[in-house]
Amino acid sequence: MQLDILTIAYIIGSVTFILGLKMLSNPAAARKGNLIAAGGMTIAILATIFLYQTEDGQGLHNYVWIFSGLIIGSVVGTLAAKKVKMTAMPEMVSLFNGMGGACAALISAVEFDHVYREFRLDENSFAAVVPIGHYITISAGAIIGGVSFAGSMIAWGKLNGRIKDFTFKGQHIVNLLMLAFVATVAGLTYWSNTPVTNIWFLITMLSALVYGIMFVLPIGGADMPVVISLLNSFTGVAAACGGFLYNNKVMLTGGILVGAAGTLLTMLMCKAMNRSLMNVLIGNFGSSNAVAGGPAKQAGSYKEISVTDAAMLMSYAKKVFIVPGYGLAVAQAQHTCHELEKLLEEKGVEVKYAIHPVAGRMPGHMNVLLAEADVSYDKLMEMEYANDEFKSTDVVLILGANDVVNPAAKNDPSSPIYGMPILEVEQAKTVIVNKRSMKPGYAGIENDLFYQPKTSMLFGDAKAALQKLITEIKNI
Amino acid sequence: MENILKLITENQQMIYIVILMVFLGIEVIGRVPSVLHTPLMSGANAIHGVVIIGAIIVMGKASDDNYLALVLGFLAVVLGTLNVVGGFVVTDRMLEMFKKKK
């Protein structure tokens, strides 16, 4: 009876996960979908605590530990999630993802300890007493969880600027060797006859952590969204390993669902940047960039535009496109941007936003930010539609975006971003670029757009510049 | 070889689930508009927090004198909860803003 209810709770949990993900695909139902999945998760967790039985029919104990862990985690998690600024959202997701990975790795560690004690592995070899399937799930959970944890921490540090890119020659070869090392030690843990399998296991986990660090360290900031998405699916697989370990269907469904969905999402992102997943994985961006970016193109001269002129241009335009980028997010300028949009609309200017799929630090980052500022949904144009409309646009205002409007992606085969679909803003009559300085963008490459005759630069922090623009436009 | 074949038969239910879920995951995500990618990633992130169930089982099975298992299990429960609760709350916050429209 007890176990039947547990089974039903797990079925409900699995169904809510699928439903939740499905509803997330529809803007109107998305929030409900998230709540449904959360509800299913709660049911599954509570059912596990009170109804789970081990093979010998024993219930769980250590309730004090379990509940204090749940309470601490809930309080800290809620506070962190509520307090985080919208701009820091990608870091937060990366951080939470790392927690999940660490959780999976710890489960494997405890399970290893359990097996070690039960089968007296200080006297027996692992292979003699434990079926290989069981060992693979333990070891895979530890390795994948560890890589996901370490990698997410590095991604988190990179996104908030605490960790810089780090590359050296032959890095991906070292990384591959590292991966081979992890696999070898994991094999040794199982097959070696030495009485120190626990030390081998420890080395496996530690080297998985090191691999996670090495894996993300060389990958440039432009690839961070892809990396987070990939690590997200890693954690999904690590969770599924736990499902195998305990023959637990809800962990398996949830984990594999996220693993598959995350992998697809990762590939979609790679496609948006016209790079293969392999290329991202071996961290090629940094190194090829160092070579290709070397002979800097003759930096032509650029022209600046005054706020007054920019205001004038925009208020007398028929159609204005705003291209938001990371600069907008950093300056927290989304509300000011919306204000400018409303002001221009009052003057009869048609204002739209052109959203590049990888603008910002995460796909959809710009949509979230602009949604926060109440920008209407139908004003946000995806890349393909925006590109059709630039021809009939009078002014394009670029707010802290760089690589996603770099024409080198179309014209310069030697450029590291060659082939990436971009917003073809140069088709518009005038382009105004707001940036803090002439420094290259996240990918570290020069942007020809800034030196074109129809482009003019409006230097300054996005928020400050927008505020000045608004004041000027009001005065016209 | 025989071992591996046996492994497949023994776990056939699980293997079926894995295969079906892979296709389902791809199918479900394939229709998500790119504007929802960030909340989607965040929502998926919360869902793999289901790993917390493993942490609870590990914790609940640990014997009272096994401090290593108790401490590691406790840590796992805390981290797993962070993943679940934080993940769902962050996703909800993002989606809340989408919902205000229209």
- pLDDT for A286 equals 43
User: Has residue A76 got a pLDDT over 60?
Assistant: yes
User: Has residue A83 got a pLDDT over 70?
Assistant: yes
Task: Tell me the residues of chain B between 57 and 86 that have a Cβ less than 8 Å away from chain A.
Answer: 57-62, 64, 66, 68-70, 72-86
Which of B48, B96, B98 faces A236 most closely, judged by CB atoms?
B48
- When pLDDT is averaged across residues A458-466 and rounded to a whole number, the result is 91
Which of B21, B37, B46 faces A364 most closely, judged by CB atoms?
B37
pLDDT in tens, A142-169: 999 999 999 999 999 988 878 877 777 7
User: Has residue A211 got a pLDDT over 70?
Assistant: yes
Question: Which residues in chain B have their CB less than 8 angstroms from residue A374's CB?
Answer: 100-101
- On whether the CB atoms of residues A255 and A137 are closer than 8 A, the answer is no
- pLDDT for A442 equals 64
Strands A395-399, A350-355: pairing is unpaired
- When pLDDT is averaged across residues A400-408 and rounded to a whole number, the result is 87
pLDDT in tens, A278-333: 777 665 544 444 334 333 444 568 888 999 999 999 999 999 999 998 888 888 88
- pLDDT for A192 equals 80
Q: Given CB atoms, is B7 within the 8 Å cutoff of chain A?
A: yes
- When pLDDT is averaged across residues A79-98 and rounded to a whole number, the result is 89
Which of B53, B61, B78 faces A250 most closely, judged by CB atoms?
B53
Paired with A353 in beta bridges are A322, A380
User: Has residue A453 got a pLDDT over 80?
Assistant: yes
Between chains, do A73 and B81 touch, taking CB under 8 Å as contact? yes
SS3 sequence, chain A?
A: CHHHHHHHHHHHHHHHHHHHHHHCCCCCCHHHHHHHHHHHHHHHHHHHHHHCECCCCCECCCHHHHHHHHHHHHHHHHHHHHHCCHHHHHHHHHHHHHHHHHHHHHHHHHHHHHHHHHCCCCCCCHHHHCCHHHHHHHHHHHHHHHHHHHHHHHHHHHHCCCCCCCCCCCHHHHHHHHHHHHHHHHHHHHHCCCCCHHHHHHHHHHHHHHHHHHHHCCCCHHHHHHHHHHHHHHHHHHHHHHHHHCCCHHHHHHHHHHHHHHHHHHHHHHHHCCCCHHHHHCCHHHHHHHHHCCCCCCCCCCCECCHHHHHHHHHCCCEEEEEECHHHHHCCCHHHHHHHHHHHHHCCCEEEEEECCCCCCCCCHHHHHHHHCCCCHHHEEEHHHHHHHHHHCCEEEEECCCHHHCCHHHHCCCCCCCCCCCCCHHHCCEEEEEECCCCCCCCCCCCHHHHCCCEEEEECCHHHHHHHHHHHHHHC
User: Has residue A465 got a pLDDT over 60?
Assistant: yes
CA A211, chain centre distance (Å): 19
- pLDDT for A160 equals 82
Lowest-pLDDT range, A380-389, B25-34, B74-83?
A: B25-34
Provide the percentage of residues in chain A whose pLDDT is more than 90. Answer: 50
CA distance A433 to A323: 9
CA distance A332 to A295: 35
User: What six digits make up the tokens of A69?
Assistant: 């862990």
Between chains, do B83 and A100 touch, taking CB under 8 Å as contact? yes
Count other C-beta atoms under 10 Å from residue A413's C-beta: 9
- pLDDT for A103 equals 97
* Assembly ipTM: 0.93
Distance from CA of A263 to the nearest CA of B (A): 8
Q: What share of chain B is helix, strand, coil (3-state, %, to 5)?
A: 85, 0, 15
CA A264, chain centre distance (Å): 13
Between chains, do A113 and B98 touch, taking CB under 8 Å as contact? no
Interface test with chain A among B2, B24, B50, by most A beta carbons within 10 Å = B50
Confidence of residue A44 (pLDDT cuts 50, 70, 90): very high
Contacting residues for A202 by C-beta, under 8 A, at least 6 apart? none
- On whether the CB atoms of residues A93 and B45 are closer than 8 A, the answer is yes
- pLDDT for A443 equals 65
- pLDDT for A232 equals 95
Q: Given CB atoms, is B95 within the 8 Å cutoff of chain A?
A: yes
Confidence of residue A361 (pLDDT cuts 50, 70, 90): low
User: What six digits make up the tokens of A78?
Assistant: 């809620």
Residue of B nearest to A380 (CA): B35
CA distance B84 to B51: 9
Distance from CA of B11 to the nearest CA of A (A): 9
Query: Higher-confidence residue: B30 or A244?
Result: A244
Positive or negative CA dihedral for A385, A391, A397, A400? positive
- pLDDT for B102 equals 41
- pLDDT for B56 equals 95
Between helices A89-118 and B87-99, what is the axis angle to 10°? 150
Which of A20, A74, A238 faces B81 most closely, judged by CB atoms?
A74
Question: Which residues in chain A have their CB less than 8 angstroms from residue B66's CB?
Answer: 113, 117
Confidence of residue A412 (pLDDT cuts 50, 70, 90): confident
- pLDDT for A283 equals 55
- When pLDDT is averaged across residues A115-131 and rounded to a whole number, the result is 80
Confidence of residue A276 (pLDDT cuts 50, 70, 90): confident
Residues A184-213 as b/e (b if ≥16 CB within 10 A, e otherwise) read: ebbebbbeeeeeebeebbbbbbebbbbbbb
pLDDT in tens, B75-88: 999 999 999 999 99
Q: Give the burial class of A387: count Cβ atoms within 10 A of its Cβ; 0-12 exposed, 13-18 middle, 19 or more buried.
A: middle
- pLDDT for A236 equals 96
Interface test with chain B among A110, A137, A266, A358, by most B beta carbons within 10 Å = A110
CA distance A233 to B45: 8
Query: Higher-confidence residue: A189 or A39?
Result: A39
Query: Higher-confidence residue: A199 or B100?
Result: A199
Distance from CA of A377 to the nearest CA of B (A): 7
CA A44, chain centre distance (Å): 27
Lowest-pLDDT range, A86-90, A207-211, A427-431?
A: A86-90
Q: What is the mean pLDDT of chain A?
A: 87
Question: Which residues in chain B have their CB less than 8 angstroms from residue A90's CB?
Answer: 38
Task: Tell me the residues of chain B between 39 and 58 that have a Cβ less than 8 Å away from chain A.
Answer: 39-58
- When pLDDT is averaged across residues B30-37 and rounded to a whole number, the result is 73
- When pLDDT is averaged across residues A170-184 and rounded to a whole number, the result is 89
pTM summary value: 0.82
Between chains, do A82 and B79 touch, taking CB under 8 Å as contact? no
Which of A76, A110, A251 faces B50 most closely, judged by CB atoms?
A251
Confidence of residue A9 (pLDDT cuts 50, 70, 90): very high
- On whether the CB atoms of residues A214 and A176 are closer than 8 A, the answer is no
The amino acid at residue A34 is N
Distance from CA of B10 to the nearest CA of A (A): 10
Contacting residues for A2 by C-beta, under 8 A, at least 6 apart? A51, A53
Nearest CA among B44, B24, B16 for reference residue A266:
B44
CA distance A365 to A115: 44
User: Has residue B100 got a pLDDT over 70?
Assistant: no
Question: Which residues in chain A have their CB less than 8 angstroms from residue B18's CB?
Answer: 240, 252, 256
Confidence of residue A129 (pLDDT cuts 50, 70, 90): confident
Q: Which residues of A are catalytic?
A: 403
